[in-house]
Each structure stands twice: as C-alpha cells, then as structure tokens.
Amino acid sequence: MTVFHNDEKHPAAADSTLDLEAAKPASIGSGGETDKELSDSTAPTEKPEAPGAKVGLTLTQFWIVMVGLNVGMLLTALDFNIVAPAAPTISSQFNEFTNSAWLGSGFLISFALVLPLYAKLSDIFGRRNLFIFGTVLFIIGSALCGASRSMNMLIWSRVVQGAGAGGIYGLVNVIITDLVPLKDVGNYLATTALVWAIADVAGPLLGGIFTEYASWRWCFYINLCISPISLIVTVIYLRIPAPKVALTEKLKNLDYVGLLTLPGATTCLLLALQWGGNTFPWSDARVIGCFAGAAALLAIFLVNIFKFAKDPLLPAYFFTNRTLLAINAAEFCFGANLIGMMYYVPQFFQIIFGDSALISGVGLIPMMVGLLIGNPIAAQITSRKGMSKINVIWGGLIMVLMCGLITRWNTHTSRAEAVVLLVFLGIGQGAVFSGLLLTAQVAVPPQEIGVATGLVIFSQTVGDIFGVAVFATVYINQVHPALLRIPGLTSDDIRSISQDIHAIRKNFEAQTQMAIIDAHSKALQHGWWLMFAFAATMVLVSLIAKQNKFT
C-alpha cells in the first residue's frame, strides 16, 4: 500500500505527517468502497500491485480499458486543432467570417469550465457513470457539428462537444489513478502523453485532408465512427463502483453555489482572455467587465467554500495547502508555455522558412518526440525513486534553457538548430507533464485525488488560453508598428499579410520581403521571451511545493 508523507494541513491530518494507512481501514476507491469490499465482490485474480487489480480487472481487461480510455483521449485531443485548417472553408460555405474564431474558442471554453465539475461529480455519482455521460455528450456534439446548417449552430454544437470532451480528458487521468498504484501512475500517463502528441500533429493534417478531399463535416463525423469503441469498452469492462448512496441524498449534498459560481467565473475569465487584444482592446468595458465578473464570482465561490458549503466543490484546505497552490500556479505557467510554443513555432516556420501550413505543423514533430522521451524518463524516476517533484525541477530547467536559446531565433536561424532545440524543449515538457500532476495527487488523501486532478488540469487549460492570448497581444503590438515603418508598405498590404502570411513572398519584391520577415522575427522574439518567463516562473513556484515521496 502507498503511504503519503505530507506536511500540509488538511482535515485528514492533525499533525505534520499523514499516514493514510492509519487513517482508514483500507484504501478508498472513487466509489467510496473499501478494498476489502471490492475483493469480496469482484475477487481480483491479479496481485495487489498489478495494474487493474484494485478494481478486480485481469491484466488483459486492464489493457482493454486503457485502449478504450486512450481512444477517447485521442478524439478529444484531435478536436482541439482538427478544425483549424477547415475554418476558412466553413466560413466561406456559411458566408460568415466574423465569428469563425469561436469554432475554437467555444470548444475550449466549455472544455475548461466543466473540468472541475466532472471531477467532483464523479466522486458522488461514480467515475464510470460520468465518463459514459461525457462520451455520449461528445458524440451528440460531434453529430450536431457535422449536421450544422449555419455558423451559429456549428459554434453552439462545438460548445456541447467541448463539454463532453472536458469530461473525457479530465476523467481519463483520474481513472488511471484509480486503476494502478500511485507511484506507477506516471508510467501509464505516458500513454496519454503519446496519444496527445500524435493528435497534436495528426489533427491539422486530418483536418486539411478531410476538407480538401471529402468534406469538412468529416472532421466531426469521424468521432461517430470511433467514439463507440471507447463507450462500449467503458460499459463492459470499467468496474470502478459508484457510491452506494440514495439519489436524494446525493442531490441534497451537492454544492449548488459552487456548481454555479465556478463555471460562471471561468466563463467570464476565458471570455476576457479571448476578447482582450483580439476582438476588443484590453481597455474595453466588456473585457474589464468580464474580469470584474470573474473576480466577484470567485469571491462568492470562496466564501461559500469556507463558510457555508457542507460538501464543497473543492475542499477548503486546497486553498491553504502550499503544495497544491504552488503546483496549480506552476501548471498554469506550464500550459501557457506549452500551447504558446505549439501555436507560434509553426508561424515562425511559415514566416522564416516559407513553409506551408501543413509542413509547419509537421515541424512540431521534434517537440512531440522530445515529449515522448522525457515523459517515460520521468515516469521511471518516480517509479524507482518514489519522487515526482524532482521531475518538475530538472524538466523545468531544460525548458528554461531551451526557451532562452529560442529567444535568439531570427532570420538567420537554421532548420537544424530549430529541430534540436525543439527536441530538448519537448524532453523538458514531457518530464514536467507528469511531475506536476503526480506531485498534486500525492499531496491529498486518496478519496480527493479526483478533485485535485481536475483542478490541476483546469489550471493548465486556463494557462493554455492565457499563453496564446498574451503572446498574440505582445506579438501584434510589436509587429504592427514595425510594418508601418517599412517604406512603401500600405495599410492594405499589412491587412493582406495578416490574412495570409504567405502573401509576403507572393506580393512583394525581395528587399521588402526581407524587411517584413525581419519585422515579424523581431516581434516573435518578444513572445519567445514571454515563454521563457513562463518556464522560469514555473520552476520557481514549484520549489514552494513539498517534495513528496512514494514509499
């Protein structure tokens, strides 16, 4: 069994060292039943340490479940970026260009705001039930997207799809924690990292292929063909039991104030980040109003947690636990760095090397390869040494070093240099990916791992949006004045470049081309420095977290 050594204060411990073996008669699964009850009812055939044995799965059944979970994860990850290549075609078909950005934003906002809700509700209604619900919702949203007859219908269908995808993504990580010993979780999270890396590269490729050779609607219909695999496997094999509590009692104990205020605050915050510097200036009343609304709703949420809620959406001690606070702050910075780099590295390749959108997306493969190297290394360190925070430190330092070197990228940077730096950046990101999550999970009692996991993933998702938003603001604020200073370049020319970056090489003579490319390169350098700052901040705040050890 696993013993957690933790100096943080929470209701389960009165002293500085928490021994969960002494605090409970047997380890608690997500459904609230003890190991003894599970063994009596399911008679596991594997050794207690074997993956899946905690819930009575044979090794074969465990891997079938893992395949089902990762199929769901793959489709969720694909839908983050599969629509991007199809967006211009969709906009042309519906003759609606002003709201096309919401094809991505609508999905991402609903995805983020449901993450902590699924985690908490799965503690009440059971992991299996909530995962099935999320998968069905994702399938319904995908069907509606494919059948959409207007841009508005498609955007709202993407919102539904995102609400299902958030449940799949959040609960896959929680369910894996339920199935295997915590010190070995990193080994199995490596499979989800592999799936996500594949989707990051394959998403834009598939989106382009479907749009060019079939129909953009197949970006969504493909989910209807493959998602049932995940659903069927979950229904048949996933045996994590739900709590045996009457429905009326479950509904009575729900934190309704939290269920309303946290999603409300999240929506306001993400709208402000999406609008600010893009749709509206940061000083616009609508952007400021969203930030103010987020702050007010968050204040109500916290007061409710500390003063009124009997079973709050997030335990009150989460907000006084130094490890959880530090890890969530670090996860926010990690998300900002990860997605900021993934979004703007292809743009650098298009501008400097003249790559097409397709080839520039392939240019991310070195970073994905590095991630797939770093993640298993970190998993082995955790499994053998029983430590997770150390992966955040060494991986974070690699990220800081690589981001520092990337700030030197300019018009003379070679492709070979870019590839090498991206491989090592990915190695650092892969180590941090599992290190942060495991450090948070070991800081809480087993029955609260699900909620802690949901909060960490939520922090990363908000960081994802924030990183892209602030990079865009810095980049645009630098490049626009620089372009205006180029002799002979008109406002119409600048507008045409913003709509099609390849217009630089199509429409201008060599000297003007070089001036435009140089302006973009120098503007991107400010964004690279921002990514460096996120990586450095991540390392610094993670030092605050307690070094937990699995024994």
Q: How high is the pLDDT of residue 295?
A: 95
With beta carbons less than 8 A apart as the criterion, state whether 424 and 398 touch.
Answer: yes
> Among candidates 341, 376, 298, 348, which has minimal Cα distance to 463?
341
With beta carbons less than 8 A apart as the criterion, state whether 157 and 145 touch.
Answer: yes
What residues contact residue 341 under an 8 Å CB cut-off, 6+ apart?
A: 367, 403, 425, 531
Q: How high is the pLDDT of residue 49?
A: 62
Q: Which fold has domain 31-249?
A: Growth Hormone; Chain: A; (1.20.1250)
- Residue by residue, pLDDT tens for the chain (551 residues) are 333 444 444 444 333 333 333 333 333 333 344 444 434 444 444 445 677 677 778 888 899 999 999 999 999 989 988 887 787 788 878 887 667 777 887 888 889 888 888 888 888 888 889 999 999 999 999 999 999 999 889 999 999 999 999 999 889 988 988 888 877 777 787 788 788 878 877 888 888 888 888 899 999 999 999 999 999 998 998 887 777 777 777 777 788 898 899 889 988 988 888 788 777 888 899 999 999 999 999 999 999 999 888 888 888 888 888 999 999 999 999 999 998 898 888 889 888 888 877 777 778 889 988 988 998 898 888 878 778 889 999 999 999 999 999 999 999 999 999 999 999 999 999 999 888 988 888 888 877 888 888 888 889 888 988 888 888 888 888 888 888 888 888 888 787 777 677 778 888 888 888 998 999 999 999 999 999 999 999 999 999 998 766 65
Domain 319-551: what homologous superfamily?
Answer: MFS general substrate transporter like domains (1.20.1250.20)
DSSP string, 110-151: HHHHHHHHHHHHHHHH-HHHHHHHHHHHHHHHHHHHHT--SH
Amino acid in the structure at residue 456: V
| Phi and psi angles of residue 34, each rounded to the nearest 5 degrees, phi first | -85, 165
Angle between helix 185-213 and 59-81 (nearest 10): 40
With beta carbons less than 8 A apart as the criterion, state whether 246 and 285 touch.
Answer: no
Between CA 101 and CA 459 the distance in angstroms is 22
Structural tokens at position 111: 């995805």
Q: What is the pTM of this model?
A: 0.79
Domain residue ranges in the chain: 31-249, 255-310, 319-551
Terminal Cα-to-Cα distance of the chain (whole angstroms): 8
10 Å CB burial of residue 256 (0-12, 13-18, 19+) is exposed
Q: How high is the pLDDT of residue 23?
A: 36
DSSP-assigned beta bridge partners for residue 387: 549
DSSP-assigned beta bridge partners for residue 34: 28
DSSP string, 202-217: HHHHHHHHHHHHS-TT
Q: How high is the pLDDT of residue 131?
A: 93
Between CA 548 and CA 17 the distance in angstroms is 11
Per CATH, 31-249 and 319-551 having the same topology is answered yes
Between CA 517 and CA 11 the distance in angstroms is 58
With beta carbons less than 8 A apart as the criterion, state whether 341 and 409 touch.
Answer: no
Phi-psi group of 239: left, alpha or beta (phi > 0 → left; psi -120 to 50 → alpha; rest → beta): alpha
Between CA 361 and CA 368, with CA 365 as vertex, the angle to 5 degrees is: 120
Between CA 445 and CA 467 the distance in angstroms is 31
With beta carbons less than 8 A apart as the criterion, state whether 322 and 340 touch.
Answer: no
Q: How high is the pLDDT of residue 410?
A: 92
